[in-house]
Amino acid sequence: MASVLFNKRFNILNYNTHNMKKIIVMFSVAILSATTLFAQKTMKPEETETWENEPPVVVPDGNYGAPSDAFLLLQDGLSEWESEKGSEAGWTYENGIITVKPGAGVIQTKKGFGSMQLHIEWRSPEVLDPSKTGQARGNSGIFLQSRYEVQVLDSYKSRTYSNGQAASIYKQHIPQANATTPPGTWQTYDIIYDAPEFDKKGKLVKPAYVTVIHNGVLALNHVEIKGSTEYIGIPEYKAHDEKMPLVLQDHGNLVSYRNIWIREL
């Protein structure tokens, strides 16, 4: 009987203790809320104003051109570009437009870039051979930091694997929409790229992320890049420099580019 009474008293004590803890927590929250409300009523507006770290002035171009702090990559022909081996870029240039010269190989910027806002306009050639479909139509690519590909392809009424069409992160992410216009027309990519980070031992600390807006339509919204672009196999990260060249791919098609500029972030 004594044992039963003890257990009952112990359970009642636990119950009361638990309730007391709840009452204390609720009372604390009430006091905190009242204190916060009082502070908000007594604070001055300037107490929550931040005047440090004033954003720099950037003058936008009214005609959707490059803003005042952008790095222009086609201002002087191919002077900002070179071949993959460091020799002269072998593509053709005319009136501010560069075009793939099949067999000349990829071209890359002489300057390296990390996180960036990239604007680039591209045009796939008009279809002369109806048998050319999928990856055989207007194929090229934009490689961020020389290894993460945003696909360039004529995906206008031309089916291919979804993670390989225009505006995809090749073999990794499918665009939310296909905003491709007919071949022969100019198209735009506006790309926000957040570069990966590695520690001193080459271990990945933070993956890369990218947003792609295709012809004004959101195609990829801050998606995580899974590693270097691979045609065969699973992508994986390998440590690289903080800033690497922007690469344009020669896939044997007469794809053209113009109005390329970058804002480093």
Q: What's the CATH number where 201 sits? A: 2.60.120.560
Shared-domain flag, residues 180 and 129: yes
More confident position, 61 or 126: 126
Shared-domain flag, residues 23 and 138: no
Shared-domain flag, residues 33 and 161: no
Shared-domain flag, residues 21 and 102: no
58 found inside a domain: no
Q: Which of 206, 211, 215 is closest to 223 using CA atoms?
A: 211
- Quote the pLDDT of residue 130: 80
Dihedral sign, Cα of residue 133, residue 168, residue 71, residue 69: positive
138 found inside a domain: yes
Residue 34: both structure tokens together: 């009242």
The Cα–Cα gap between 123 and 187 comes to: 6
How many domains are contained in the chain? 2
More confident position, 153 or 132: 153
Residue 94: both structure tokens together: 């005319």
- Quote the pLDDT of residue 50: 81
Is the confidence at residue 25, as pLDDT, over 80?
Answer: no
Q: Which of 140, 82, 132 is closest to 111 using CA atoms?
A: 82
Shared-domain flag, residues 154 and 212: yes
Is the confidence at residue 119, as pLDDT, over 80?
Answer: yes
Give the residue numbers spanning the domain of 33. 2-48
Is the confidence at residue 38, as pLDDT, over 90?
Answer: no
Shared-domain flag, residues 152 and 41: no
Shared-domain flag, residues 11 and 84: no
CA 194 to the chain's CA centroid: 6
Averaged pLDDT, 211-231: 98
Shared-domain flag, residues 43 and 160: no
Shared-domain flag, residues 41 and 157: no
Shared-domain flag, residues 38 and 103: no
56 found inside a domain: no
65 found inside a domain: no
Shared-domain flag, residues 77 and 41: no
62 found inside a domain: no
